[in-house]
Chain A
């Protein structure tokens, strides 16, 4: 009996530990999604939006959005032109690096109050290829134009790894007088506003209508959090179910009890208390379910055809062309990983709790029977 209990305890503890680890991993995935992607709404058009970089530059000073110009394939080389590498060059506003959450291993993003000389930030891989043996100031030639390298960022952001960009991306500072159109605008996402609302507000502030593909990465962050909370809700439901079972057993025992009124009354009181606790706990636990309305069907939450069509639409977007594919890939990788981890964590949590509760109950039974034995002997 003791061996069996010990086995149950170990099994329960292992299940709970693994479940805890999986929950932490899901939280890490949700956190990494936030770290790797900007909390912003991206308005994108590969041909260029109807906003020039000069206009974007003048409005981006308020820090409510950042802009990147239409990118071009370029030949990048060191100042001695020993090596030439194909790259993708984009001019950006000075706050673009902060929006993209770029991690720097050397220097930093160019600042708005910096010198007017052309500056660029380059990825670590490109820096290693071009300036491996060089120390001190780095001068980069992009299509023959000189740039001072002011920062080297770490490769491996979600947007570049999961995106379609296979070339190293060089970000350069935008000369204030340029007619190059902006390729993408990153508008700071606010929880209380829709992407459409924020796009319109930005358009009103700039006095230019903004048309283009819109990807709400801020909402994606919210969905990542909502999934994690849903996992906690499902795990916590075990306690509610347990309380309901206890309540049921106490109420039935109160009804079927043949002994004194006091025992019957106490069983009924315990039953009612457990029932009320279960209901309150369930109500509180349900507050963790916070799925944004845009992801829910209109009238019936059990409209599985709707969820099916959403998933099918997402899969089709992964195979589409353009920026929407990058966005869909990010959604698919992060959300599927998080869901997968939670799907494993919840049953393990239930199994662990069940096993531990079983072991505790049998221990209690053993203790009670050992206490009852001397009385039985006396009788």
Chain B
């Protein structure tokens, strides 16, 4: 057994996709809703804003939606927050079992660690706004809505790929 596992140890993409599809199907069969990720961030952020400056919440439909007691008894007990906690747990267990857990700043060969962290942060800001515009991200819209053949989800999915391909050339030095 080699000490350092290579990326070739990743599972076959079609097998992984099939398993991911079964996870998504089980979410529909159990809970009537698909997978999600961005909503967990929205819920967590709304909770933080409610703690730090509650006056921001009143009259703001975005925060009020996530802090609505009818949605969850506590914003951190929101279905999606718990689900994403599960995602992190699953990712942790899998990476440990595969020998891939490593504290590192992953980046392209030509990019320093500090610019990489800045780009990662900036990308996160853009994605959050995008996910709110679209009412979901790659998990909640593209994957979950895609499987229900939701019209808006398919439009969104095409636009995600379009946006990424359009900008890929501009940021190529960060990755290649």
Whether A and B are associated in the same complex: the answer reads no
